[in-house]
Structure 1
């Protein structure tokens, strides 16, 4: 588990750098991240998020990390931090499929 700290650092960097206090909305922040990041960068972010979600940390520890590194009021979006991050991973995966951008 020596790389635990590495993927935690990566997830903290992604969350803190993307979902910070200056965002209009989490959706806009994600859209901007996707627009400004290479496909390789998005795939690496997906890998870091999946490693984090599948790690041996407790759900409480994971949720604390997510909450401490985002400026999102989770009750307002009606999702737990873990549910929200799983949705982010799903949206990132969609963004890497095909070459056209579709808005859902």
Structure 2
């Protein structure tokens, strides 16, 4: 991994640290992250997420990355990993406006 891929490391930390096996629900986990994070942290996380979405990885590679780093059973929430990922980005963007 080179320096331009540092967002992948940051995303691994974000997904693994926020959406781990001890959470009650993905919704509660993102709400807790948003509540505890500073505006700067949210902006940085959003940038890493957007870098990931704009990366040359295939859709399948992106979905696999999300599945491998977030402890979420996607069929239970009726969203694909990328649909869910885009949803949490939008939630973070909304939260930035309120901070």
TM-score range, shorter chain: over 0.9
Deviations 1:5-40 (A, max 9, x none): 311111111000000000000000001101111000
In the superposition, the TM-score normalised over structure 2's length comes to 0.94
| C-alpha deviation, 1:4, in angstroms | 4.2
Aligned to 2:23: 23
Matched, 1:73 2:73: yes
SS of corresponding position for 1:97: helix
Distance 1:91 1:66 in 2: 17
Distance 2:36 2:97 in 1: 16
Distance 1:40 1:49 in 2: 14
Matches within 5 A, 1:26-41: 26-41=26-41
Aligned to 1:56: 56
**Which one has a larger percent helix, Structure 1 or Structure 2?**
2
Aligned to 2:89: 89
Number of corresponding residues:
99
In the superposition, the TM-score normalised over structure 1's length comes to 0.90
SS of corresponding position for 2:98: coil
Aligned to 1:6: 6
Matched, 1:42 2:42: yes
